[in-house]
Structures are given as C-alpha cells and as structure tokens.
Structure 1
C-alpha cells in the first residue's frame, strides 16, 4: 500500500483534527495564507525596486543591509565573548 493513499490521508486528517481542533487548524491556515501573501508582496516590491531607474534607492537599500550585517556581527561577537 502507498503511504499517501486516500484512506491514510483521511485517517491522518482525523488525528490532526482530534489533536488540534478545527479552530486551531483554521488559525494555522489563516496564518500560513497571510505569510504567503506578505512574501509575495515583498517579492513584488523587490522587483519594482530592482527595475526602477533610481540608483539612489538601491544604494540606500545596500547601505541598510550593510548596517544590519554590521550590527549582527557585533551582537554575535558580544554574545560569543560573554559565553
């Protein structure tokens, strides 16, 4: 028998519903949907930013990324020295 057959999937769904309840599954589905929606929106914004002719916006974005990386490095070094 195949592990992904219809009876196995139905039993798995019933077990998940018994453990988490239907309202929790709705919340998880809604959270997953909103996460995918925000990811798509961020991808569209990135495409618009990269396709725009203004190099100033791209330069500011790169500067922000570099500043963030520098902060992360100093935080990691601080945590490493405290250990």
Structure 2
C-alpha cells in the first residue's frame, strides 16, 4: 500500500521509453556505465598513489651536515 509496486514501475518505464526512445536510453546507459567504470578506476589509482606516498615518507636517507666557506685569494 505505501510502497511502489511492480506495476507502477512498469508504467513509469513505459512512459520513459515513449518520451526518450530506446536509442537515447541505450546511449545514456552506455555513458553512465563508462562514468562508473572511470570512477572506479580513479578510486583504485588514488589508493595506489597513497600507498606510494607512504613508501616515500617511510624511506629515510643519510643526512650529511656541512658548511661551505670561501677564502679570498689575492690576485697579483
């Protein structure tokens, strides 16, 4: 009673098909699928980049402390 039944969904689907047509719906479905695929790929690549950043941060190197001085030479 309070929810949407199967027949209401079928009627809405038929109205959408009449308004947009099957070709346009197919194109929209393909575009939506590519968008979801690219989003998943970006999320996967982002987590790999974060793991690489952690590896760089954890890598410690040798620090060499020094000082540079310049002696003035007398030119003749």
Partner deviation per Cα, 1:24-83 (whole Å, 9 max, x = no partner) = 11111100000000000000110000011235xxxxxxxxxxxxxxxxxxxxxxxxxxxx
Aligned length: 55
Structure 1 runs not aligned, ≥5 long: 56-83
Aligned alpha-carbon RMSD (Å) = 1.2
Which ranges of structure 2 fall in alignment gaps of 5 or more residues?
Answer: 58-76
Q: Following TM superposition, where does structure 1 have runs of at least 4 consecutive aligned residues deviating by more than 2 angstroms?
A: none
TM-score, normalised on structure 1? 0.61
- 2:56 maps to which residue? 54
- Determine if the alignment matches structure 1 residue 13 to structure 2 residue 13: yes
What is the TM-score normalised by the length of structure 2?
0.67
Larger radius of gyration: 2
Distance 1:3 1:19, change over 3 A: farther
Higher helix share: 1
1:3: Cα distance to partner? 4.2
